[in-house]
Chains A and B, each alone.
Chain A
């Protein structure tokens, strides 16, 4: 079981770093869509291995971060209803909503439980037949199939008290929305690894075809990312942007058919509200009519006050790639992982959390080789 070390081999990393440095002649800007990539890049010190010409920006790929405040407010309101158990991924607990957080609602007596998977939520529903057990369904195409599977299972087993509040989001439409906004000029995108395992690479073809932007799908190990970067740099330098997979062990162009079928069985595509971006058409998944009795958006009476964003928080700008965490005035001062103001500081996939945790490393660019790169 040595498979991981192969992807962390420093000799190969050096070769790839050479290759990137040798090919890069002009300044380019890349966006890593996934928060997981932002963390891996900082954790392994990859920024220091690439020349200054290659700028990397974090993108919107953090499930907790992109969840709109109003959706969080909805979850908190549901939590306060009698005979309701809220089940959620742990990171959601600490995200501040407009007026409270799930953590605070819990401290005030609401029954909010952290689960590690949707199937745990289903188990809680089985154990508490007299209560409504609501799972806060956040995430992208990665979590959607398992959430769909839990709904199908609930249907098969006749578990009537299970509900899902679907805040699920789709990645290709939001990439299109960001490119259409054009606030930040991108030359290339580090494509999401786990999402692409599910949907494949074909849904990203428009990125190069319509926008002339390079897109290379990457895994999460250091060599995966360096390989992806070298492919991006080469494509951009050659002026031939296309969609490529640098994560062949996980991603096939057509994706995972079974997972996609499961999603299709349970969900329908709808508009979705993204933090910092707003409503993006056709970018979310709602539970379809066949399974609507599992939809937590139906059958509960709650009233919501208008959502408000924390003052000074730039999570929205950071998610659009317009700002880096270091440009937020709250970063590291008012806002820290212990006292987060916005979700990007809470989530283990959030850009602010990555910048905070891995800090400013000792030297900005320390190539692993001596002498001139070129």
Chain B
């Protein structure tokens, strides 16, 4: 029974301490975490950004990533999309009794790898164990703190008429990776999740221009939902061209099979930037230099024509409204 999580691992007693010492500290050690005090204490000067997110993805291991990597990247990206440089993260786990210790170890190692890549430290954490059946394997919450440089002013409400819309790469990879795992779909070119920390990409493009008005990572709800959020928050219209939106062939094929529109499929390593027109080329060029922005493309612009609405020029020529995702994305039956 030594190889699974027991209720006692979350009791605060000896097994809890063992778990911290043997599983968490070896991977995540840093001077603040090592103290194991009730709070992490640090100094910070300037404007801070603070965010939190919970991760309940099923399956917890998927092509191209796992829940641990996702929990770090998701929160790092939320900070980055405010223009903040992520500094510190908390890591809180709710584990179902009976969960495999070796799988937990694997997940903690990917937390470590993702945090190392993003150059952030996990400085506080917690583990709770719940009875079998009260949680599905493992839930993770991370919160994060970042610092915003002077001159950076990014918000979903900042889009201006004439601004250009830039997308950092192909859409739908994460959603299709998860779905193909769930549905047991096999593709000749397997689709991997794009899960990645985008803070360095953001710091690169902020070096190219401080006139980046909006940034957001189109996660659940996909590109369509993010664009609609911008249009509503800024009270502007957005026009995009379907032809310009990069989608991998394998993702297209999977979408055709499942009856999905890629603009609604989730991403975990992409961003949408709304940029002052004069700086769009500079920002696009800078994005393309970064490995996470290689396939970046200018996909549309902000207009005053239809405030609050997103219009897509389809490949065939006509235009149509792109609404937010409503309900859940479910594969077609027929």
Contacts and interface: CB of A to CB of B under 8 A. Distances in A.
A161 interface: no
A98 interface: no
Contacts of B1: none
Interface of A: 1-4, 8, 10, 13-14, 34-36, 39, 42-49, 61-64, 89-91, 94, 116-117, 138-140, 142-143, 192, 194-195, 220-222, 336-338, 346-349, 356-363, 366, 368
A338 B326 contact: yes
Interface in B223-276: 243, 249-250, 252-253, 256, 259, 261
Nearest to A220: B256
B35 interface: no
B317 A10 contact: yes
Contacts of A49: 316-318
B127 to A, nearest CB: 28
Contact of B327 (A34, A44, A143, A338): A338
B44 interface: no
Nearest to B243: A10
A4 B316 contact: no
B315 A222 contact: yes
B22 interface: no
Pick from A35, A64, A195, A357 the residue with the most CB of B within 10 Å: A357
Given A139-B333, A140-B334, A116 B318 contact: no
A4 B256 contact: yes
A48 B318 contact: yes
Given A36-B332, A94-B327, A346-B327, A363 B188 contact: no
Nearest to A34: B334
Given A89-B333, A142-B334, A346-B327, A8 B315 contact: yes
Contacts of B250: 1
A45 B259 CA distance: 17
Contacts of A47: 318
B288 to A, nearest CB: 23
Given A1-B188, A116-B182, A337-B326, A10 B333 contact: no
B317 A45 contact: yes
Given A44-B316, A368-B318, A4 B249 contact: yes
Contact of A4 (B252, B261, B306, B326): B252
B38 interface: no
B315 A10 contact: yes
Interface of B: 182-183, 188-189, 243, 249-250, 252-253, 256, 259, 261, 306, 311, 314-321, 323, 326-328, 330-334
Pick from B188, B253, B319 the residue with the most CB of A within 10 Å: B319
A366 B316 contact: no
B316 A89 contact: no
A14 B326 contact: no
Nearest to B316: A13
A362 B221 CA distance: 23
B334 A194 contact: yes
25 contacts: A8-B316, A10-B243, A10-B315, A34-B334, A44-B320, A46-B318, A47-B318, A91-B333, A116-B183, A117-B183, A143-B333, A220-B256, A338-B326, A346-B327, A348-B332, A356-B326, A357-B323, A358-B323, A361-B319, A361-B320, A361-B321, A362-B319, A366-B319, A368-B316, A368-B317
Contacts of A90: 328, 330-331
Contacts of B253: 1, 3-4
A363 B313 CA distance: 12
B334 A139 contact: yes
Contacts of B330: 89-91, 348
Contacts of A1: 188-189, 249-250, 253
3 A-B pairs closest in CB distance: A45-B318, A337-B326, A368-B317
Given A337-B327, A357-B326, A222 B316 contact: yes
Nearest to A221: B256
A282 B307 CA distance: 52
A117 B183 CA distance: 8
A148 to B, nearest CB: 16
A239 B326 CA distance: 43
B9 to A, nearest CB: 26
Contacts of A195: 334
A363 B305 CA distance: 13
Nearest to B327: A337
Contacts of A64: 333
Nearest to A2: B249
A349 B326 CA distance: 14
A358 B323 CA distance: 7
B212 to A, nearest CB: 29
Contacts of A36: 259, 332, 334
Given A13-B317, A63-B334, A348-B332, 15 more contacts: A4-B256, A10-B317, A13-B316, A34-B334, A42-B320, A49-B316, A63-B333, A64-B333, A90-B331, A143-B333, A192-B334, A361-B318, A362-B321, A368-B316, A368-B318
